[in-house]
Structure 1
Amino acid sequence: MDPIFNPYAPGAGSPPPELAGRNAVREKMRLCIERLRRGKPAKSMMLVGLRGVGKTVLLDQMMKDAEASGVVTIRIEAPEGRSLPAVLAPQLRLGLLKLSRTEKAKDMAIRGLRALAGFVGQMKVTFNDIEVGLDYEPEPGLADNGDLEGDLTMLLEQVGKAALAGETLVAIFIDELQYVPEKQMAALISALHRCAQLQLPLVVAGAGLPQLRGRMGEAKSYAERLFDFPAIGPLDAADAADAIVKPAHDEGVDFDEDAVTLIVTYTKGYPYFLQEWGKHAWDVAAASPITRLDVETASRQAIATLDESFFRVRFDRLTPAEKRYLRAMAELGSGPHRSGDIAAKLGRESSSLGPVRSNLIAKGMIWSPTHGDTAFTVPLFDEFMKRIMPGEAWMQADA
């Protein structure tokens, strides 16, 4: 069939043509925003889940929903190697400038911009990666003490007060939140806690790998009472089928029922993989309806594409010792696995593998669902490891 009309969208954060199975989370965020706009308490939200489950897509859709309701939105990503103040400050500036164009909020927004100037001036001493234009001179004593936790709290207070004056709400969306260092995470949580105590119309929606919940709890013990942590997982069979069938139907193309069942089986309902299989099934098929045979042929191409991109880009960041650790995990199955069992497969003591395991957690490759357990953060990565490191030669390789 004509690839020009292929409706599927595999890619990092690319919105799928059918955002199936996520309405409940979107509605929860809508209720949160509407309660805060009316001065009622509501928790900020942190989406947690593995790679490929569509956290970024859902976060962006929630931001679009918020914008459609008339609130001021801010969107940042917390990449490895950059500080939270560096990525947050420029976007806070844009939000405050937008608020300053509303007559009711103008004075408070300008005070927020003065707070931002003081904040940036002091934080540059600690974080030399901050680059942001300043519109007003700082106000002495306003978010300029040089203490990240206190200054960020005061800054977000001013943002919330500007939103309150403007009879609106500021919603901050943060992706890849697991990369924020603990002290910076603690400062963010503390600032949001203060805004909640003051009943200010400011909310944060974040997204991160499953370890995010534990990291936030370690940063501030009250984090679990301040946030909701909806788990974003694979789609159930009905929603996964909708993600495949509806986009094709909109283009006048149908799937045989057993073809859909096979795609759901191959992908285990993970949204990114559904898009990959849908794309290749469309390109392989000669005509509608797309058949089980089409899907079987497409599966070989989908797996090869994933191996070359989605999986390989993560594999290439690993050291030889880290690759062997993950290969040992794969040998045990999809997981999670006890750390001692992984060590035994490698013929090592668990204690000697601690640094390797810690590095893999820091790289976002594995996480610990419970104490002593280890699991992949990337779905189907165990199958990839067996393909790229076949046989038993890896067991004798030098660490």
Structure 2
Amino acid sequence: MDPRRNPYAPGAGSAPPELAGRDEVLERTSIMLDRLVARHPTRGFIFYGLRGVGKTVLLQRVLLDAEVSGMAVVEIEAPEDQSLPAMLAPALRATLIRMSKGKMAKAMVRRALGVLAAFVRAAKIKYEDVEISMDFIGEEGMADSGDLELDLGDLLIAVGEAAAEHHTAAVLFIDELQYVKEKQLAALTRALHKTSQRRLPITLVAAGLPQLLAQMGRAKSYTERLFEFVEIGPLDEADGMRALRVPAAKEQVEFSDDALRTILSQTQGYPYFIQEWGKQAWNTARQSPISRRDALTAGTIALADLDASFFRVRFDRLAPAEKRYARAMATLGQGPYRTGDIARVLEEKTTTVGPIRARLIKKGMVYSPSHGDTAFTVPLFADFLERTMPWRPAPDGGAD
């Protein structure tokens, strides 16, 4: 069929043509945003789950809803090697300047810009990666102590007061939150705790990998009272079929039931893979309805594409010892995997390979679903390793 009319959208954070299976959580976030503006007690949202489940898509949808409602949004994607002040300062500056446009800046916006200037000055001394110039005079004695917990609290209070003065709310949207260091995560949590105590209209909506739950629990013991933690998982059969059928129907194309079941079985319901299989099935089929044979051919093509891109880019970030640890996991099946079993496959002591596991967790490749267990954060990654990396015991009988 005509690839120009192909409606499917596989891509990093690309919104699918049909956002299936997320209606309930979107309604909950909508209620939260309305309550935030009205300054009623509420909690922020933390979306967590594996790669490819649509966390970023969901985050972007909530951000769009907030923007349409006239809220002040602060959008950040956390990289692995940057401090929280370095990420937050330029994004907050842009948001506060937008709040001051179109009319004379109100007192609280001017004050917030001054507090931000003081925060940036102090952060540049402590965090050398802060590279932003401020054209505003710093607010004396505010957010300038060099203690991130204290300073970030001052800053977010000032931003919350500016939002309240504009009869709106400010929302921090942070993707890949698991990459924020735990001490800085603790500072952010404490700052939002302060704003919550004052009923200020500012909150956090964030997304991250499953290890984020443990990270935030370690950062501050009261995080569950500040945020709703929402697990984002694969789609069930009905929603998976909806994700495939609705976009095709808009182009007057249908799927056979066998084709739908084949795709959902191969993709295990993961939204990113559903989009990839849908794209390939469309391009493979000669006519409607798309058949099971089309779906099987699409699966072969989709896996080849994923091996060369989605899986490969993550695999190539790993050091040789990390690749070997991951391959040892794959020999044990789909997981989760007991840490001792992985060490046994590697013919090493658990304590010896522990640092490798820690590095893989830090890189966001694996997580610990429960004590003593390890699992991949990337769905179907074990199958990729089985296809592309033959398993060989280390020449010396241990991990290399």
After TM superposition, the score normalised by the length of structure 1 is 0.97
Contact 1:209 1:377 in 2 (8 A): yes
Report what 1:247 is aligned to.
247
Letter in 2 for 1:43: R
Measured against aligned partners, the alpha-carbon deviations of 1:254-297 in whole angstroms (never above 9, x if no partner) come to: 11111011000000000000011001101111111111001111
Report what 1:261 is aligned to.
261
Measured against aligned partners, the alpha-carbon deviations of 1:31-67 in whole angstroms (never above 9, x if no partner) come to: 1111121121111111000001010011001101111
Contact 2:346 2:393 in 1 (8 A): no
Instruction: Please give the residue correspondences for 1:262-281 in structure 2 after superposition, counting only pairs within 5 Å.
Output: 262-281=262-281
Report what 1:213 is aligned to.
213
Report what 1:186 is aligned to.
186
Q: For 1:173 and 1:146, locate their aligned partners in 2 and report how far apart those are by CA, in whole Å.
A: 24
Q: For 2:68 and 2:139, locate their aligned partners in 1 and report how far apart those are by CA, in whole Å.
A: 34
2:361 pairs with 1:361: yes
Q: For 1:67 and 1:139, locate their aligned partners in 2 and report how far apart those are by CA, in whole Å.
A: 29
Contact 1:102 1:166 in 2 (8 A): no
Contact 1:216 1:223 in 2 (8 A): yes
Alpha-carbon distance, 1:103 to partner:
5.9
Report what 1:315 is aligned to.
315
Q: For 1:133 and 1:243, locate their aligned partners in 2 and report how far apart those are by CA, in whole Å.
A: 45
SS of alignment partner, residue 230 of structure 1: strand
Point out where structure 2 has 5 or more consecutive residues left out of the alignment.
Answer: none
Report what 1:203 is aligned to.
203
Measured against aligned partners, the alpha-carbon deviations of 1:146-174 in whole angstroms (never above 9, x if no partner) come to: 11111111000000001111110011100
**Once superposed, what is the RMSD of the aligned Cα atoms?**
1.4
Contact 1:50 1:210 in 2 (8 A): yes
Alpha-carbon distance, 1:333 to partner:
1.3
Contact 1:105 1:166 in 2 (8 A): no
2:392 pairs with 1:393: yes
Q: For 1:343 and 1:329, locate their aligned partners in 2 and report how far apart those are by CA, in whole Å.
A: 9
Report what 1:75 is aligned to.
75
Report what 2:161 is aligned to.
161
Report what 2:370 is aligned to.
370
Q: For 1:255 and 1:343, locate their aligned partners in 2 and report how far apart those are by CA, in whole Å.
A: 45
Q: Which moved more, 1:116-125 or 1:136-145?
A: 136-145
| Runs ≥4 residues deviating over 3 A | 101-105, 394-398
Report what 1:332 is aligned to.
332
Letter in 1 for 2:181: P
Alpha-carbon distance, 1:328 to partner:
1.4
Alpha-carbon distance, 1:131 to partner:
2.3
Alpha-carbon distance, 1:341 to partner:
1.1
Q: Percent sequence identity over matched residues?
A: 55
Report what 1:85 is aligned to.
85
Alpha-carbon distance, 1:325 to partner:
1.2
Measured against aligned partners, the alpha-carbon deviations of 1:207-233 in whole angstroms (never above 9, x if no partner) come to: 000000110111111112211110000
Q: For 1:96 and 1:55, locate their aligned partners in 2 and report how far apart those are by CA, in whole Å.
A: 27
Report what 1:139 is aligned to.
139
Report the number of matched residues. 398
